[in-house]
Amino acid sequence: MRVPLSWLRDFAPFEGDPADIAATLDDLGLVVEVVEHVGEGLGDVVVARIEEVTAIEGADKIRRVVVTDGSDLVEVACGAKNFAVGDLVALAPVGSVLPGGFAIGKRKMKGMVSNGMLCSGRELRLSEDHAGILILNEVDGAAPGVLLTDALGIGPDVVFDVAVEANRPDAWCMAGVARDLAARMGLPFAVPSTPDLMSLVDPGGPQAPVPSSGPAVGSVATVQVDDLELCPRFTARVVTGIRVGESPDWLTRRLLAAGMRPINNVVDASNYVMLELGQPTHPYDLDRLAGGGLLVRRAGAGETVTTLDDVERTLGRPGPGLGDTGQDCLICDATGAPVGIGGIMGGASSEIGPDTTDVLLEAAYFVPMAIARTSKRLNLRTEASARFERGCDPAGIDRAAERFCELLALTAGPDVTVAEGVLDIVGTDVPVPLEVDVRPSRVNGLLGTELTAPAIAELLVPLGMEAVPTGGDDDPVRVVVPTFRPDVRPAPMGEADLTEEVARTYGYSRLPRRHPAWPQPGGLTTYQRERRKLKDVLCGIGASEAWTTAFVTESDQVTAGFPPPYIEVTNPLVDAERFLRSSMAPGLVRAIVYNAERRQGDVRLFEVGSVFRLADVPDPEGPPAEVDERLCAVFAGEGDDAWSAVAAWHTVAGSLGLADWVMEQGHHRGNDGRVSHEYRSATLLSGPAVSGGRRVTLGEVGELDPTFVETFGLVGTDGRPRRVGWLDLDLDVLLDPARATRRPLESAPISRFPSSDIDLAFVVPDEVPAGSVEATLVEAGGELLESVQLFDVYRGESLGDGARSLAYRLRFCALDRTLTDEETASLRSGCITAVEQAHRAALR
C-alpha cells in the first residue's frame, strides 16, 4: 500500500526524517518496502509563458518555442502541440533534475540549442497525463517566474510503500497506519472532521459540508437483506442532484499518490474513503436500480451475474477444496435481479455514468470467510474483497459513509442533496468489542519483560483499546478491543494477541535477549549420521550430489518401471510434469545428459531424496501416500558399468558395517520394470533377519537397461546407449540396524599367532554365482577362517563354454596356537570337497 506522508499528517503531526519514520514503521511490522520521494526535483521547475512558437526547417516532430521565465527569454525545443502563445506552462531549466533522476542539459537539436524542457504532468509525476505539456492557465497564482510548487501549493512529499500483514485489515488505510505510528511516537491521533480535512487539503476551496437537507432516505430508496448470515450489516445512503465530473486536484493528487487512478468524482470519493478509513463502499446509480433499491440475498445454485469487468460469473455452487460451502452473497436491485457480488465486485448495469444524478451508496459488513471463499473460487480479487476477507470494521461503516456524502457534497456540484438518515439493516452476527483480560505475568512470561499492569495499559490505549488495570501491578489489565481489530481473538488466545500489541508499541528492538540453556544434549540421530556418512562415501568414490525434480511425466514413471496408479498433482506448474516421482533414475539420467550436452558427460551423480507411492495400508490420520527416502547413484564416467556400482556398494556396505548381506541376481521387477539391465543387475538383501529368517530388500545394484538409457538420448560415440552403472538404496531399511544388521558392538580378539594362506581355484559353471561359492567356503572354513577373498576370475577356451575359474585366497588362523600343516591340509580338503559337492565345481 502506498502511503503518502502528507496524508498521514491528516491524523497526527508527524515530523522528522522520513528515513526514521520508515524505520519506525518497520519496527511496528508495517514494513516499508520502498521510500519514494515525490515532488522532489520540482524545486527548479518554474512557471513560464509561451511567447513565440516557430517551426524548424526540416523537423516535423519538434518546434522552436520561446518562453519567458519572468526575467529572461528562453529558447527550447518542444514536441507537444497542445499550447499557444500566451499559455502558462512548466519549464524545467538547464541544470534541473526531474523526478526519477532525469537531468536537463543544454541540447543541440536540428540546428538550435534547447535550454530546458517544457514538461508534461507525467514527467513531473503530478499526473498520468502525457498527451501534451502541462497547461497552468487556470491555476491561481501561476505567473512567469513563480516556482511551480508554489503555484500548485504542493510541497515535496514522501510515499512509503508499506506491506500490510494479512491479519491487519485496520492498518490497510491511511488512518490505520497513522494510528500505529502515532501510538509509537507518542503523538495524539484523530481522524479529522471533513471541515478540518478541507482546511488542510484545499484551503481556498469550499469548507463546510452540506448538511443532510434532503428527503428522508426511506422515501427515496429501499433496502432489504434476506441473508444476514453472509451480510450481518448493510447500510445505504442516498445523495441526489450530483453532477458527475472530475474530482478536485487535491483529491486526484492524493489518489494518484496512493497508486489509484481517478475515475470520476463519485467513484473517487468512494475510493478516497477506502484509502483513508479502510472501508470499501459501493456507489450505485439509483435511477438504474430497478425498484429503486437493493435486495441482499444468497445466490441460487448456478445463478449468474455479469460483473463490472464484463465477465459472467456463475455462483452458488461449492468449488473444490475444503470448507467451500458455495454460499455467495448477491446484491440485487429491489426486484431481485443481481447487480453485483457482495463485497467483491459490482455489476455493469448500475455503474455510475456521466448522466448519473442520484447515487445510492452501499456500506456494509460481510462475513470475512464467506468473501474469502467466494473470491477464491471465482478467482476474483479486488481492493474491496481483499479488505472484506480480512475483516472490515462494522462500526466504521457510519463514519465512512458520512465522509463519502460530505465529500460528494463538496465535489459534485451545487445541487447536491444528502437524503436524511441511513437505511441500516443489522443482524445478530455483527462483531462487537471484545473484552480480554491481560495478565502481566503472561505478557512478561511471553516477552521476557518486567512490565507492570499500568505500563501494559499505557502501551495499549494509544492503539484505540480501552485498557484499565483491575488492581495492582500484577493484576490483570481489562482490555476492550475495538471492532477494527479482528486479529485479536477472544481469551485465552487474545491474551497472546494483545501481548504482541504490547510488544509492538513498546518496540521489538527494545525487547531483551537471552541465550536459553537446557540440560538435554543436542545431536543427530543414527539415521542422520549414517546418511551423512553414506553421502560422504559416495563423494569419496567420485560421485557428486545432484538435486533433481520431484515432478515427472507419465512416461518417466513407466520407463522407470513403475506401473500406475501414480500420485498426481492437481495443479501442476507444467501440465505434463504432474506426477510425483517413483524413482530418481530418470532425473539423474537427465542430469547426465544435461552435462553430456555440455561436453562433460563423464560423471558420477547421486541423489538422496524422496520417492512417492500410494500407501499400502492408508493411515486414517495421515495422507494416503508413502514417502520413502532413497539414495540413487548413476555411474557414467569413462569405463563405468555395473562393476562401478558393485564396487560402490561394497564400499557403502563396508562403511556402514553391515554384518551380512546378499546379492541376488536376476530380474526382480517383472516385465514392467525396464530400469535395470536384466542380466547385469542384482537385488541387495539383508542378512537373514532375527525373526523368521526373512531377508529384506536393501536396494538394487548393477547397470541401467540400455533401452531406458536410450530413451533419454544418452548414447555413446558409437551411437549405442551408454553403459551406466546404478545403485538404488532404500535408506529407511539400510539405515535401520534392526533390519540391516550391523557387525556386533563387541570387539573380536585378534590372534597373536601367524596365519596360513591357502589359494584355491575352482572351475565353476556359469549358473553358479561366485557369491554362493564364497558362502560355501565360509561355512566349510568354520571358525578358523579369518578371511576369504576372490582374487581372480578367468574365462578361456581351456575351460570350455559355460564355466569359469574362480580363485580364492583363504586365510586361516587360530587364537591360541599356530595351525599345524596337518590342520591346514585338512581345512583345505574340507573346503575343496564342500565346493565341489555343492556346486558341480572342480579344483583347477
How far is the C-alpha of 28 from the C-alpha of 457, rounded, in Å?
Answer: 18
User: Quick check: 490 binds other proteins (CB under 8 A)?
Assistant: no
User: Quick check: 678 binds other proteins (CB under 8 A)?
Assistant: yes
Minimum distance from residue 665 beta carbon to other proteins (Å): 6
Here's the x/- map for other proteins, 753-772, by CB under 8 A: it reads as -------------x--xxxx
544-573 residues in contact with other proteins (CB under 8 A) are 544-551, 567-573
Minimum distance from residue 595 beta carbon to other proteins (Å): 5
Size of the site for other proteins (CB under 8 A): 136
User: Quick check: 802 binds other proteins (CB under 8 A)?
Assistant: no
Q: Nearer to other proteins by C-beta: 209 or 699?
A: 699
DSSP state of 211: P
Q: Nearer to other proteins by C-beta: 224 or 452?
A: 452
Sign of the Cα torsion 672, 677, 679, 683 reads negative
Minimum distance from residue 735 beta carbon to other proteins (Å): 12
Give the CB-side neighbour count of residue 618, counting CA atoms within 13 A.
7
Q: Nearer to other proteins by C-beta: 130 or 532?
A: 532
Q: Nearer to other proteins by C-beta: 45 or 642?
A: 642
Interacting residue with other proteins among 524, 738, 815, 825 (CB under 8 A): 524
Interacting residue with other proteins among 20, 128, 165, 779 (CB under 8 A): 165
E-assigned strand segments in 166-318: 222-225, 233-240, 282-285, 293-298, 304-306, 312-314
Q: Nearer to other proteins by C-beta: 71 or 520?
A: 520
Interacting residue with other proteins among 112, 290, 369, 843 (CB under 8 A): 369
CB 760 within 8 Å of CB 807: yes
How far is the C-alpha of 75 from the C-alpha of 68, rounded, in Å?
Answer: 9
How far is the C-alpha of 673 from the C-alpha of 445, rounded, in Å?
Answer: 59
Q: Nearer to other proteins by C-beta: 53 or 807?
A: 807
The residue among 9, 334, 359, 447 whose CA lies nearest residue 187 is 9
Interacting residue with other proteins among 167, 306, 452, 751 (CB under 8 A): 167
282-321 residues in contact with other proteins (CB under 8 A) are 320-321
Here's the x/- map for other proteins, 173-202, by CB under 8 A: it reads as ------------------------------
Cis peptide before 565 (omega within 30 of 0): yes
Cα torsion through 489, 491, 495, 496, rounded to 10: -60
Does an H or E element contain 776, and which?
helix 770-781
Sign of the Cα torsion 593, 597, 598, 602 reads positive
Q: Can you name the residues that pair with 63 across neighbouring β-strands?
A: 55, 78
User: Quick check: 644 binds other proteins (CB under 8 A)?
Assistant: yes
User: Quick check: 170 binds other proteins (CB under 8 A)?
Assistant: no
Sign of the Cα torsion 279, 285, 290, 293 reads positive
Q: Nearer to other proteins by C-beta: 360 or 608?
A: 608
The burial of 108, by beta-carbon neighbours within 10 Å (0-12 exposed, 13-18 middle, 19 or more buried), is given as exposed
DSSP state of 816: S
Here's the x/- map for other proteins, 387-426, by CB under 8 A: it reads as --xx------------------------------------
Q: Can you name the residues that pair with 357 across neighbouring β-strands?
A: none
- Residue 688: CB partners within 8 Å, gap ≥ 6? 660, 694, 695
User: Quick check: 595 binds other proteins (CB under 8 A)?
Assistant: yes
Contacts 24+ apart (CB under 8 A), 439-445: 439/476, 439/495, 440/473, 440/474, 440/475, 440/476, 440/477, 441/474, 442/495, 442/496, 442/499, 443/495, 443/498, 443/499, 443/502
Q: Grid coordinates in use for 655?
A: 562403511
User: Quick check: 228 binds other proteins (CB under 8 A)?
Assistant: no
Q: Beta strand pairing status for 222-225 and 293-298?
A: parallel
Backbone angles phi, psi at 229, to 5 degrees: -75, -45
User: Quick check: 715 binds other proteins (CB under 8 A)?
Assistant: no
The residue among 264, 195, 568 whose CA lies nearest residue 411 is 264
* Binding piece for other proteins, criterion CB under 8 A, among 210-218, 643-651, 690-698, 833-841: 643-651
Q: Nearer to other proteins by C-beta: 208 or 793?
A: 793
How far is the C-alpha of 337 from the C-alpha of 780, rounded, in Å?
Answer: 94
The residue among 679, 675, 702 whose CA lies nearest residue 585 is 675
Interacting residue with other proteins among 9, 37, 376, 669 (CB under 8 A): 376
Identify the three-state secondary structure at position 293.
Answer: strand
| One-letter identity of residue 357 | T
Interacting residue with other proteins among 99, 394, 396, 706 (CB under 8 A): 706
How far is the C-alpha of 147 from the C-alpha of 46, rounded, in Å?
Answer: 4
Q: Nearer to other proteins by C-beta: 493 or 738?
A: 493
Does an H or E element contain 53, and which?
strand 46-56
Q: Nearer to other proteins by C-beta: 129 or 554?
A: 554
Interacting residue with other proteins among 182, 295, 685, 701 (CB under 8 A): 701
User: Quick check: 719 binds other proteins (CB under 8 A)?
Assistant: no
User: Quick check: 18 binds other proteins (CB under 8 A)?
Assistant: no
Interacting residue with other proteins among 221, 580, 634, 724 (CB under 8 A): 580
User: Quick check: 673 binds other proteins (CB under 8 A)?
Assistant: no
User: Quick check: 834 binds other proteins (CB under 8 A)?
Assistant: no
437-476 residues in contact with other proteins (CB under 8 A) are 444-449
Interacting residue with other proteins among 16, 186, 516, 692 (CB under 8 A): 516
329-368 residues in contact with other proteins (CB under 8 A) are 368
User: Quick check: 774 binds other proteins (CB under 8 A)?
Assistant: yes
User: Quick check: 121 binds other proteins (CB under 8 A)?
Assistant: no
Q: Grid coordinates in use for 640?
A: 563405468
Minimum distance from residue 525 beta carbon to other proteins (Å): 7
Minimum distance from residue 255 beta carbon to other proteins (Å): 25
How far is the C-alpha of 536 from the C-alpha of 543, rounded, in Å?
Answer: 9
Q: Nearer to other proteins by C-beta: 189 or 643?
A: 643
Backbone angles phi, psi at 703, to 5 degrees: -130, 150
Minimum distance from residue 100 beta carbon to other proteins (Å): 17
Minimum distance from residue 42 beta carbon to other proteins (Å): 23
* Binding piece for other proteins, criterion CB under 8 A, among 537-545, 811-819, 824-832, 834-842: 537-545
Q: Nearer to other proteins by C-beta: 430 or 541?
A: 541
598-637 residues in contact with other proteins (CB under 8 A) are 598, 600, 602-606, 608-610, 612, 614, 621-625, 627, 637
Minimum distance from residue 114 beta carbon to other proteins (Å): 34
Interacting residue with other proteins among 141, 542, 564, 800 (CB under 8 A): 542
Interacting residue with other proteins among 168, 288, 313, 403 (CB under 8 A): 168
Interacting residue with other proteins among 789, 820, 829, 837 (CB under 8 A): 789
Backbone angles phi, psi at 131, to 5 degrees: -75, -30
Minimum distance from residue 509 beta carbon to other proteins (Å): 6
DSSP state of 549: -
Q: Beta strand pairing status for 544-545 and 604-614?
A: parallel
Minimum distance from residue 598 beta carbon to other proteins (Å): 7
User: Quick check: 499 binds other proteins (CB under 8 A)?
Assistant: yes
Q: Nearer to other proteins by C-beta: 192 or 326?
A: 326
CB atoms within 10 A of CB 633: 29
Q: Nearer to other proteins by C-beta: 31 or 334?
A: 31
| One-letter identity of residue 510 | R
DSSP state of 364: E
The residue among 39, 282, 292, 28 whose CA lies nearest residue 162 is 28
